Chain A
């Protein structure tokens, strides 16, 4: 079956522009996570969606970052007025349910470069 799909795979944009990243989770997975991975670093939690519940936005680094998940499936992460420090790989993961005992299934990420 299809895995987690992310688009675009690469995005280069100028400082100050807005960007939108898309994640299509595995069908039937109710939990969806966004992470940020800077070069040579681990994963930084950004936001978590579970079904129709209010998302956990505690990891979003600033109010320039927002995310939504429509219809409990596809999610978009939006970064407004991008800064150079936003350059990183943005990874999306889904799991069957929102339980830390479940493995997470990752997409290949969007590599974002801010010039």
Chain B
């Protein structure tokens, strides 16, 4: 079953704007990861946040985690056309020490 659910399903913005995507999950986790998938390609790992962390930054990416609300957000600042892709959250833990459970993704379109 899918644990992570991303919101919105699709997002269209202009270059230079910020993009925020959300992920909600149902069971306890030990970490949450975000991945990007360009059309026709595999997933690329972006960032991992552990359950005892609240915020993490990597370049133009900012991830927050609220375990009390079982939710996470991914913020991409100063977006570029090359950021156009699908973004997936994946949760680790929740009964397995090796599986990740992926959501259905948010399709981000950045218009030049």
Residues on A close to B: CB < 8 A?
A: 4, 31, 35, 40-43, 45, 48, 50, 56, 91, 93, 98-101, 103-109
Query: Quick one: given A100-B30, A101-B48, are A108 and B102 in contact (CB under 8 Å)?
Result: no
Interface majority SS (helix, strand, loop, mixed), chain B: strand
Residues on B close to A: CB < 8 A?
A: 2, 4, 30-31, 33, 35, 40-45, 48, 50, 88, 92-93, 96-105
Instruction: Say yes or no: A91 contacts B98, CB within 8 Å.
Output: no
Residue of A nearest to B5 (CB): A42
The 8 Å CB contact of A103, one of B45, B93, B96, B101, is B45
Residue of B nearest to A50 (CB): B98
Residue of A nearest to B103 (CB): A42
Which residues of A are found within 8 Å of B100, using beta-carbon distances? 100, 104
Q: In the complex, how many angstroms separate the beta carbon of A8 from the nearest chain B beta carbon?
A: 14
Q: In the complex, how many angstroms separate the beta carbon of A77 from the nearest chain B beta carbon?
A: 15
Q: In the complex, how many angstroms separate the beta carbon of B106 from the nearest chain A beta carbon?
A: 11
Which residues of A are found within 8 Å of B102, using beta-carbon distances? 35, 42-43
Which residues of A are found within 8 Å of B35, using beta-carbon distances? 106
